[in-house]
Amino acid sequence: MSLSIPPFGSDPGRVGAYVAFELSIAYSRIFLPLRSRSLRSQWHELAERSDHLLNESTVLSDIVDLRSTCWNHPYGRRDSAVDQDLVRAIGSAHDLSMGVITLLWRGYAESIDTEDELHLPVPFVGPWRTAEFAMRTQSLGEVLTNPKSSCHYPTYLWSEDLSLILCCPFYSDSLYIGSKRISSSELRDFGLEATAVTQDAQLPTTGD
C-alpha cells in the first residue's frame, strides 16, 4: 500500500487541515449525536428549536444554552448508530474490503498495539507531527465495523487511491469525509446528519 500523504492544509483551525481539498471530490461534515442525561439528540432537532439552520460552521452553542443545560460533547467518540449508518452509506459507494491507512492521535491515551504500526516517511501530517499518531493499515470494513479497535474515530483515514478520506479532528463533534463517490445529500439518505463543507470553514472548537 502507498504511504503517500494527501495534501492536507497547514492551518489547524480550518477544515482543510483534515480533509485534502485538491482531489476534486465531494466534502461533507457529519454531526455526531449529542447527549443530555439519558437523552440522545440529533443536531437538526435542537437547531429547529433554536431557529438555527445547520451549516458547515455550526457550533454547539448555536443550538443549545450551554449555561443551563448539561450536554455531553461527543469528543470524537464512536457512536454505534452512526457506525451502522456509515457502513451502509460508505459501503454503498466504496469497497469495504479495500485497504486504508488510519492514524489515531496518541493523546487519547488508548492502549495501542504497536506490532503492526506503520512509520510514514514524512515528519508532518497536515500541521501535526507524524509522531503524534499511531498508524496502521486496515480494511475499510474493519475500521467501520470493529468498535473494539478504538473508542474514538480515526483522526485521519485515507484509501490508497485517495477516493475516500475520513477524518475526526481531536475531540471533535463531527466527522469530515471526502469521497469521489458519495455526497452529503446521499449521506443524509442513509440517516446521517451531514452537510457540505468547504476548505476554509472554521473548525468548531471543543469549548463550544
* Other CB atoms within 10 Å distance of the CB of residue 10: 11
Quick one: pLDDT at residue 49? 85
- 74-133 pLDDT, tens digit each: 889 999 899 999 999 999 999 999 999 999 998 886 766 655 677 788 889 999 999 999
* Other CB atoms within 10 Å distance of the CB of residue 123: 9
Query: What is the sign, positive or negative, of the torsion defined by CA atoms of 193, 67, 171, 59?
Result: positive
- 178-203 pLDDT, tens digit each: 999 999 999 999 999 999 998 888 88
Q: Percentages helix, strand, coil for the chain, rounded to the nearest 5?
A: 20, 25, 55
C-alpha cell at 58: 455550526
Q: pTM of the entire structure?
A: 0.90
